[in-house]
Structure 1
Amino acid sequence: MMNFEKLDVWKRSARLSAELYKATSQLRDFSYRDQLTRSGLSVPSNIAEGMTRSSPKEKCRFLEIARSSIAEARTQIYIGIEIKYLPSQKALQWLDETKEISAMISGLIKRIESKN
């Protein structure tokens, strides 16, 4: 069983989630903030849950949920930039980070699938 805490993709997604929480803590639009922080939090949570599963199929299922959540967060970041809820310079960095995290999750899924 792989220790999820050693995975760079888990570390980076957990860091991004924390940054999203901090950056939106003063935001009055609770529903937007809630959606963004939930999707961000879902990524490292599902990576952790997936990597502790014993079957490769289960691992991949949770990783696919994590990949969907990072796409959801990316969408919410784009909208946050457009409606001026997020600082655009920082938000553009987050968009790049979501793309890299998504690619890392895809690579991890491929690695798990190729072992079977």
Structure 2
Amino acid sequence: MLYLAVRTYQLTNELPPEEIYNLSHQIKKSVVSIPSNIAEGAGRNSNNEFNQFLGFATSSSYELENQVLLSERLNFLSSEDVNPVIEELHSLQKRIYNFKKFIKKQREVVYSGVLIPLPSTSLPYTRKPWKHIS
């Protein structure tokens, strides 16, 4: 995600000056919102809440994709500059989608009354220890 944020900020420098407070500002908000929502969700108290914030991150990624493609269509950005960002966005969208599926499976296991502890190496984030839910 760091590559995406850095590259996107670099792209906004190529936009016309009159877009600083319009499209450029929206693009920066969207790209910052993606990891911010993931981080906020990771700090929540349940996987259900985390899943919701992953959804917000996905929405922000689609918003960013739209804004970058619009910049290209308006001839503010070249295809050579836009394509790597779009490819990275598509990769990120797939990873978030798969992670949401993983989180949902974990929630289903807990809700069914079965607690299956996972090794910490299988999770790409640090979570609070599992608690048995009665």
TM-score normalized by the length of structure 2: 0.73
Q: Which whole-Å deviations, capped at 9, do the CAs of 1:50-80 have from their partners, x for residues lacking one?
A: 1121201110111000000000000111111
After TM superposition, where is structure 1 displaced by more than 4 Å over at least 4 residues in a row?
Answer: none
Taking only aligned residues, the RMSD between alpha carbons, in angstroms, comes to 1.2
Counterparts of 1:34 and 1:71 in 2: how far apart (Å)?
A: 16
Counterparts of 1:102 and 1:38 in 2: how far apart (Å)?
A: 17
User: What are the equivalent positions in structure 2 for 1:10-49 lying under 5 Å apart?
Assistant: 13-25=1-13, 27=15, 28=17, 29-30=19-20, 31-49=22-40
Distance apart, 1:90 and its partner CA: 2.0
Counterparts of 1:100 and 1:56 in 2: how far apart (Å)?
A: 23
User: What are the equivalent positions in structure 2 for 1:23-102 lying under 5 Å apart?
Assistant: 23-25=11-13, 27=15, 28=17, 29-30=19-20, 31-102=22-93
Distance apart, 1:26 and its partner CA: 5.1
* Runs of 5+ unmatched residues, structure 2: 108-134
Q: Which has the larger radius of gyration?
A: 2
Amino-acid identity (%): 29
What is the identity, as a one-letter code, of the residue corresponding to 1:52?
G
* Runs of 5+ unmatched residues, structure 1: 1-12
As a proportion of its length, which structure holds more helix? 1
Counterparts of 1:54 and 1:21 in 2: how far apart (Å)?
A: 32
TM-score normalized by the length of structure 1: 0.83
